[in-house]
Structure 1
Amino acid sequence: MKAFVLAEPGKVKWFDAPEPQLVPYGAILKPVAVTPCSSDVHTVFGGGSKKQDNLVLGHECIAEVVSVGENVCDFKTGDRVAVPAITPDWREKSIQEGNDRHASAPFSGHQLGRTQPGVFSERFLIKDADTTLAHIPQKISEEQALMSVDVVTTGFTGAEYADIKIGDTVCVIGIGPIGLMAVAGAKLRGAARIIAVGTRPKCVQLAKYYGATDVLSYKEGDIVQQVKELTNGIGVDATIIAGGTAEVLTQAYDMTRYGIGTISNINYFGGTGYLPLPIFSGGRGMCGKTLHMELAKGGRARIERIMSMIEFGRVDPTPLVTHHLYGLDKVEEALYLMRDKPADLVKVMVHCE
């Protein structure tokens, strides 16, 4: 079958991949719509750990069930489902300890397009259908369902781990699609003031749409100083990092309040080396600031809850889809769009049917 794979670092190709083999708890699916993620861009162009030869890329997908294993209870051939980007093995013992995203090994929850074949192919396997696949409510559009599997849940993860309280002031650094959903999540959790940091005009427009009260540009001066000026020198109650290079962690510490402040990172830092923790704004080790470094929440229950938020009008991720392409073979073009980020792009949706 036709599959879009990582040929070698920095290079992709179309490949005649083997058909997936059905397992008792699993399902074979064909993609209805997919979207490349910035993580796919990092996998292809950003280096990192060695990947298996001809790894099928992709982890953001809605799909149709082709066949199910003998032990599958809740899904049948023909069902249209959302496929979570994060697919933990819910039978791992460590999940009973609450460690669903790193249960058997670091990043074990992030399997698709990383340690097992992803979704950019004519057919793909989900090993445990009942714990992974999510039913799409009838009122949910394909765009909304597709955005729920990664973008919305990741942005909301950032807001959840920021421990936002009613009336808080929050800064979201980076307003790509993930940051935009962090803005939306901060608003839903009760933030009074939401300061977004970003420059691309389309993203600035959407940040205001999703609840940002202020938008700052790093091109107009030091963002820490700008945040301090907006908050009378106090800083923000919570900072969500959704973009930037290593220095952004220092900036987040610098702008976050002593004693009760929380920093929630959902940003991917490429390469190796170290992330700097500032000594001064870290209170010389005693600042009372909490730091969370989190992979997005996934699994069936999570994505069905996300889609409930969409179904009942709490959030609408539809505006994130700014570009539409048609045909599975357009995945390559979509990947390069996500890498190059034209000014009017937020997310590109590839319709496979």
Structure 2
Amino acid sequence: MRALTWHGKGDIRYDKVDDPTIEEPDDIIIKVTACAICGSDLHLMDGCMPTMESGDVLGHETMGEVIETGGAHSKFRKGDRVVVPFNIACGQCFFCQKQLFSLCDRSNRNAEQAAAVMGHSPSGLFGYSHMLGGYAGGQAEYLRVPYGSVGPIAVPGDLEDEQVLFLSDILPTGWMAAENAQIEPGDTVAIWGAGPVGQMAILSAWKQGAGRVIVIDEVPERLVMAQVHGKAEVIDFSQTKVYDALQEMTNGRGPDSCIDCVGTEAAADSGIMARVDRVKQALYLGTDRPHVLREMIMCCRKGGTLSVPGVYVGVIDKLPFGALMNKGLTVKTGQTHTHRYLAPLLDMIVKGELDVSFVTTHNAPLSEGPNLYKTFRDKADGCIKVVMKPGA
């Protein structure tokens, strides 16, 4: 089959690789009908994530048609359309029973590597390093799905792929980001990053009771999308000092909740700390650029909440922990417990209460993936979200 593969920093290729096969009794194999490039895939492209190996198949936002099932699998039949969550969960361990699916104890085949870095291992992820399981990703013609009776969700035949594909990651991620923000009715929510996850967080914040949503970014197309589709107020951080703007907009109190939809490769102004972050990352003296985290700590109101769905991969420094503690801030983080949200979010889509297809700006064959990775990374051609179709 053909797939998008990683061959080092900045080197994404459209390669021929081995077809997936059934390995465990509950596996399913799908023929991929649509997949997407996620912002966190860019961290792989930029070489930020350790334990990637040349030839690894990328991608964790995937849906398709079931073509084969393991001997013990009984949930899906050949021909069923399914969306596959980006994280892999067994459904039976201590954490899965608590619906903390991204913390599954069984699905990471290389858990000892992750535990050595993090203390304990999170769940396995599709297409996201050997430290997180070494699973082939879904930017491919076919995908093997472990624990097939636990993760995927069937989707109605009358819905287009673009209406449901984002259940695989960015829609549940935006929803959990808003949930972790502990929004109370009428709250002011500030969201850093108006990329795909940021757009989902905007919609989710409104649906969870926000009275006001303010979005921080510098990319014109993203800010326009946040205004038009998200009905949000916007701050262009390249033109305005974010702290001053937020204090003025909230009468000096600060937002009730702040959401980091950016993560490890945050852009920033030309201040000294931004330059230090970039130099340290380039010299492998630091793994992350935590500008957004620092700014959220300073901007959030006293007693407020910080929600961090943005991906971080290692260690950060110069974090104003004194401000975090003395302001009494709550911090909630984590990879999304995707499985928990699939059914309720799909129900909203089916009922017409939620339409997220607007975020797609580029729809192309999988073969164009290497160039589209660069387009997405460089924010060129108005690119906000890329959807690809094998064989198109």
The 3-state SS of whatever aligns with 1:221 is coil
* Counterpart position of 2:283: none
Structure 1 residue 311: Cα displacement: 1.7
Shift of 1:303: 2.0
The answer to whether the aligner puts 1:315 opposite 2:329 as a matched pair is no
* CA distance, structure 1, for counterparts of residue 179 and residue 326 of structure 2: 24
What are the ranges of 5 or more consecutive residues in structure 2 without an aligned counterpart? Answer: 106-110, 115-120, 129-133, 267-288
Query: Which of structures 1 and 2 has the larger relative contact order (alpha carbons within 8 angstroms, sep 6+)?
Result: 1
CA contact (8 A) 1:193 1:213 kept: yes
With over 3 angstroms needed to count, the CA separation of the structure-2 counterparts of 1:128 and 1:175, relative to structure 1, is: same
**Residue number among 247, 264, 274 corresponding to 2:291 in the alignment:** 247
Aligned to 2:61: 60
Distance 1:13 1:351 in 2: 16
Residue 347 (structure 2) pairs with residue 304 (structure 1): no
Equivalence map 1:179-258=2 (5 Å)? 179-243=198-262, 244=266, 245-258=289-302
Corresponding residue to 1:278 among 320, 329, 346: 320
Task: Report how far residue 222 of structure 1 moved.
Answer: 1.4
Counterpart contact for 1:88–1:298, Cα < 8 Å: no
The answer to whether the aligner puts 1:122 opposite 2:136 as a matched pair is: no
CA contact (8 A) 1:135 1:304 kept: no
Q: What is the TM-score normalised by the length of structure 1?
A: 0.91
| Partner SS state of residue 352, structure 2 | coil
1:172 equivalent among 184, 191, 194:
191
CA distance in structure 1 between the aligned counterparts of 2:54 and 2:219, rounded to whole angstroms: 36
Counterpart AA for 1:112? F
Scaled by the length of structure 2, the TM-score of the pair is 0.83
CA distance in 1, matches of 2:151, 2:99: 17
Shift of 1:10: 3.2
Displacement of 1:275: 4.4
Deviation at 1:248, TM superposition (A): 1.2
Residues 36 and 139 in structure 2, CA contact (< 8 A), matched pair in contact too: no
Contact kept? 2:82, 2:154, Cα under 8 Å: yes
Task: Give the 5 Å matches for 1:50-89.
Answer: 50-89=51-90
> What RMSD over aligned residues (CA atoms) do the two structures have, in Å?
2.0
Q: 1:118 and 1:307 mapped to 2: Cα distance?
A: 23
Deviation readout 1:49-101 (Å, 9 max, x if unpaired): 12244211111111111111122222111111111112223233443355421
Whether 1:137 aligns to 2:156 is yes
Q: Provide Cα deviations, 1:1-21, integer angstroms capped at 9, x if missing partner.
A: 323211234323344322222
Spell out the pairing of 1:331-342 with structure 2 (5 A cutoff).
331-342=369-380
SS at match of 2:87: coil
Shift of 1:337: 2.0
SS in 1 for 2:199: helix
More moved, 221-230 vs 134-143: 134-143
